[in-house]
């Protein structure tokens, strides 16, 4: 494996304090990311009613639910293509342009989903149209998430990259919380019949408006200083950026893919799957698990910022190691503790949310894993391909494992926490001598 993980040489202003403009950029980027991720994730809260409305009424319930989740998964499968294409132009033509385009490409299909005719009106054209729009959403988020991490990291001083990436990740996770709150409000405001008739459309229509608002917000953002400096020096990559990544940045790709796998374990298992698993394994009501999940997601949102600050202070390797151990311990505490003391569900789930905050470390490592000229393409390829594979595989694996033991989700997260520990030790052992100040604190 090549010794190809690098960090850009420190610029004269790399140690400057965080400015008011930096804070404004972080706030606008995080808010836009939250609104866009809300658009992508809101689908999962309405898969039940969507399955009823977009497939033939004589379809068995299990098949209808499987088809609805298949539509949700289609968004993940489209992420690599959209991310790679947008990253290509982001490395060649500018970060801001793609950063704005991705949120526009998300808002349009979200709005159209809210306006789609159902199977009763359009027949099989309805699920086919929904599939196409869902894939457009996936392509958009495939460019948004890596682009957002690159964008904020190249705006702030070098010593504040951890805070920038942690804050942006916090915004993305807040989008999950926002989706949960909106779904709860819709289900409390309308009867089940009203939700089926028209209420399910409301979150998508609101999401479309959110998206266009995010496009407006991003008009106020400037191109990153790092990209502008490369453009002035005529140092932009001349050949296909992805080709450069695959030829000379293989260690960065492997490390980024492994950490994306860790990220999917925390987000998909602990945040997205646990409410349904708790209902199935322990008989909790949907209302209680949704409340616990909302508080856990809020703790995750705060935890991402905390871990980002810790990275700037103590370095990537050490914080990733500690965070991986916290994630393992907190997940076991949740699943084993609830089995013994069901009344502790909310408190233990909030603790697990803090543990999942270690995902705030992941983008900092990935940003530093690639040189600026191909950073967007390297990060986007690694993250989106790994998320498509591992994010799509995780629910199936955990569901099958859960048939054997109620602690299966914790075992799975623990295994991936072990992967996080291995990457952390690699970062600590690599050090300055081999990788050019990969981790300034190692």
Q: Predicted confidence band at 153 (pLDDT cuts at 50, 70, 90)?
A: very high
Q: How far apart are CA 363 and CA 332, in angstroms?
A: 25
**Tens digits of residue pLDDT in 373-412:** 999 999 999 999 998 888 878 887 888 888 888 899 999 9
Contact yes or no for 380/365 (Cβ under 8 A): no
Contact yes or no for 251/1 (Cβ under 8 A): yes
Residue 219 neighbours by CB distance under 10 Å: 9
Q: How far apart are CA 154 and CA 65, in angstroms?
A: 42
Contact yes or no for 218/99 (Cβ under 8 A): yes
In this prediction, residue 431 carries a pLDDT of: 59
pTM: 0.86
Q: Please give the full DSSP string across 42-94, using - where no structure is assigned.
A: GGGGGHHHHHHHHS-TTS-HHHHHHHHHHHHHHHHHTHHHHHHHHHHHHHHH-
Q: Please give the full DSSP string across 94-133, using - where no structure is assigned.
A: -HHHHHHHHHHHHHHHHHHHTT---HHHHTTHHHHHHHHH
Q: How far apart are CA 293 and CA 346, in angstroms?
A: 8
Count how many residues are written for the chain.
442
Q: Which two tokens stand for residue 198?
A: 């028209």
Question: What's the sign of the alpha-carbon dihedral 366, 163, 147, 274?
Answer: positive
In this prediction, residue 63 carries a pLDDT of: 75
**HSE-up of residue 20 (Cα within 13 Å, Cβ side):** 0
Local structure of residue 436 (DSSP, 8 states): S
Phi-psi region of 154 (alpha: psi -120 to 50; beta: other; left: phi over 0): alpha
Q: Predicted confidence band at 440 (pLDDT cuts at 50, 70, 90)?
A: very low
**Tens digits of residue pLDDT in 324-354:** 999 999 999 999 999 889 999 999 999 999 9
Q: Predicted confidence band at 158 (pLDDT cuts at 50, 70, 90)?
A: confident
**Tens digits of residue pLDDT in 181-234:** 888 888 888 998 998 999 999 999 998 988 888 888 777 788 888 888 898 888
Contact yes or no for 197/49 (Cβ under 8 A): no
To the nearest whole number, what is the mean pLDDT of the chain?
Answer: 86
Q: How far apart are CA 358 and CA 162, in angstroms?
A: 12
- Residue ranges and CATH numbers for the domains of the chain are 20-435 (1.20.1250.20)
**Tens digits of residue pLDDT in 294-326:** 999 999 999 999 999 999 999 999 999 999 999
């Amino acid at each position: 494996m090549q010794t190809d993980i690098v960090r850009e040489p420190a610029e004269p202003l790399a140690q400057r304090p965080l400015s008011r403009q930096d804070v404004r950029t972080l706030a606008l980027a995080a808010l836009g990311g939250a609104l866009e991720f809300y658009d992508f994730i809101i689908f999962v809260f309405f898969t039940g009613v969507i399955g009823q409305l977009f497939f033939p009424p004589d379809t068995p319930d299990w098949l209808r639910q499987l088809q609805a989740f298949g539509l949700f998964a289609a968004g993940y499968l489209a992420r690599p293509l959209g991310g790679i294409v947008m990253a290509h132009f982001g490395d060649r033509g500018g970060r801001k342009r793609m950063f704005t385009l991705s949120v526009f490409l998300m808002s349009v299909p979200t709005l159209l989903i809210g306006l789609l005719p159902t199977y009763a009106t359009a027949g099989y054209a309805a699920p086919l149209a929904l599939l196409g729009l869902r894939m457009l959403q996936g392509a958009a988020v495939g460019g948004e998430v890596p682009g957002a991490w690159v964008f904020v990291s190249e705006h702030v001083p070098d010593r504040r990259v951890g805070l920038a990436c942690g804050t942006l990740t916090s915004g993305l996770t807040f989008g999950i919380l926002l989706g949960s709150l909106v779904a709860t409000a819709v289900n409390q405001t309308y009867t089940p019949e009203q939700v089926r008739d028209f209420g399910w459309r409301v979150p998508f229509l609101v999401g479309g408006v959110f998206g266009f608002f995010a496009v407006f917000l991003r008009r106020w953002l400037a191109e990153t200083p790092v990209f502008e400096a490369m453009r002035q020096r005529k140092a932009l990559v001349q050949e296909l950026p992805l080709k450069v990544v695959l030829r000379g940045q293989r260690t960065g790709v492997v490390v980024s893919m492994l950490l994306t796998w860790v990220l999917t374990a925390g987000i998909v298992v602990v945040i997205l799957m646990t409410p349904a698993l708790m209902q199935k394994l322990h008989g909790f009501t949907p209302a209680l698990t949704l409340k616990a999940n909302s508080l856990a997601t809020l703790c995750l949102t705060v935890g991402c910022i905390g871990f980002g600050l810790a990275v700037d202070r103590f370095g990537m390797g050490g914080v990733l190691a500690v965070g991986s151990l916290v994630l393992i311990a907190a997940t076991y505490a949740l699943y084993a503790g609830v089995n013994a003391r069901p009344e502790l569900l909310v408190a233990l789930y909030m603790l697990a949310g803090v543990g999942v905050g270690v995902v705030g470390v992941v983008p900092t490592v990935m940003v530093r894993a690639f040189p600026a000229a191909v950073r967007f393409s390297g990060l986007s390829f690694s993250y989106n391909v790994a998320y498509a594979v591992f994010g799509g595989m995780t629910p199936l694996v955990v569901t099958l494992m859960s048939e054997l033991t109620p602690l299966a989700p914790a075992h799975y997260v623990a295994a991936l926490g072990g992967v996080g520990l291995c990457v952390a030790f690699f970062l600590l052992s690599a050090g300055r001598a081999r990788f050019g100040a990969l981790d300034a604190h190692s």
